[in-house]
């Protein structure tokens, strides 16, 4: 079974631009979560989508948004980029996102975003 | 708000020695706790969860609600255990909160 894939793997943008990152979950997985990883703040939860609906949202400004398609693929968008948005963005998929012992969350390799 | 604390950023032990990675949490509800591991140049992956009470790669972790801890232990460390370890808590809204991580190095 193919793992979680994320595209692109690396991205360089300038302040003020906007960016879209993509995540393809493992086949059959309906829950997709996004995380931001930085040296200073560590791993922080952004949001979770399940069956095309945002089910949970972390404490990030409205510039961070996402969506999920009917095939469970997900995108996250960051508008008006700031230098502090430079980070590794990880997505993770699971069957239902319930956290039960049968529902493991699998992570993708991440997209490294650099904002200049 | 919940918090997960991993007090050690770096931890070094010799091969064959016991290892314990500390994790403390604060959460008003009933937590679900996990340990994730990231080996060099690999993806973050689930190591174990407290609900399953399992032992994975010789690692165990016991939830101590009295001390609000979920320490990860292994009696005999191996060089291949060298990795970054993250403790995480899932709240009632299914949101995962991660600790800052502990880089474990097992010396030969």
Chain A's closest residue to B47, CA to CA, is A104
User: What is the number of other CB atoms lying within 10 angstroms of the CB of residue B53?
Assistant: 12
The confidence score (pLDDT) of residue B83 equals 97
Q: Confirm if B81 and B12 have CB atoms less than 8 A apart.
A: no
- B94 vs A: CB within 8 A: yes
Backbone angles phi, psi at B40, to 5 degrees: -55, 125
- The span from the CA of A14 to the CA of A80, in Å, is 9
Is the pLDDT at A100 greater than 70? The verdict is no
The confidence score (pLDDT) of residue B23 equals 97
- B50 vs A: CB within 8 A: no
- The span from the CA of B46 to the CA of B61, in Å, is 13
Give the A:B interface size as CB pairs under 8 Å: 47
- The span from the CA of A27 to the CA of A110, in Å, is 18
Chain A's closest residue to B87, CA to CA, is A43
Is the pLDDT at A1 greater than 80? The verdict is no
Q: Do B101 and A42 touch (CB under 8 A)?
A: yes
Q: Are strands B45-49 and B60-64 parallel, antiparallel or unpaired?
A: unpaired
Query: B29: which 2 tokens?
Result: 């509800």
Backbone angles phi, psi at B81, to 5 degrees: -80, -10
Number of alpha helices (DSSP H) and beta strands (DSSP E) in chain A: 0, 11
Tell me what the mean pLDDT of segment B80-88 comes to.
96
Give the distance from residue B51's alpha carbon to the nearest chain A alpha carbon, in angstroms: 7
In chain A, the N- to C-terminal Cα span, in Å, equals 37
Residues B13-37 pLDDT 10s: 999 999 999 999 999 888 889 999 9
Is the pLDDT at A56 greater than 90? The verdict is no
Is the pLDDT at A101 greater than 70? The verdict is no
Q: Are strands B10-14 and B102-107 parallel, antiparallel or unpaired?
A: parallel
Query: B42: which 2 tokens?
Result: 């690999």
Residues B28-82 pLDDT 10s: 888 889 999 999 999 999 999 887 777 889 999 988 989 999 999 999 999 999 9
């Amino acid at each position: 079974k193919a793992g979680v894939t994320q595209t692109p793997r690396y991205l360089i943008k300038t302040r003020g631009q906007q960016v879209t990152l993509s995540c393809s979950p493992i086949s059959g997985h309906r829950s997709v979560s996004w995380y931001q990883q930085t040296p200073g703040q560590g791993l922080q939860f952004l949001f979770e989508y399940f069956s095309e609906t945002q089910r949970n949202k972390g404490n990030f400004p409205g510039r961070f948004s996402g969506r999920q398609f009917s095939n469970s693929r997900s995108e996250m968008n960051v508008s008006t980029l700031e230098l502090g948005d430079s980070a590794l963005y990880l997505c993770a998929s699971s069957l239902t996102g319930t956290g039960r012992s049968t529902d493991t969350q699998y992570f993708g390799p991440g997209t490294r975003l650099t904002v200049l | 708000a919940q918090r997960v604390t991993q007090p050690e950023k770096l931890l070094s032990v010799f091969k064959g020695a016991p290892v314990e990675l500390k994790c403390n949490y604060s959460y008003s509800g009933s937590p679900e706790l996990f340990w994730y591991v990231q080996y060099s140049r690999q993806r973050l992956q689930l190591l174990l969860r407290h609900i399953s009470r399992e032992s994975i790669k010789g690692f165990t972790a016991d939830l101590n609600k009295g001390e609000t801890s979920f320490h990860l232990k292994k009696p005999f460390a191996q060089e291949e255990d060298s990795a970054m370890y993250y403790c995480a808590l899932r709240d009632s809204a299914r949101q995962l909160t991660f600790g800052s991580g502990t880089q474990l190095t097992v010396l030969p």
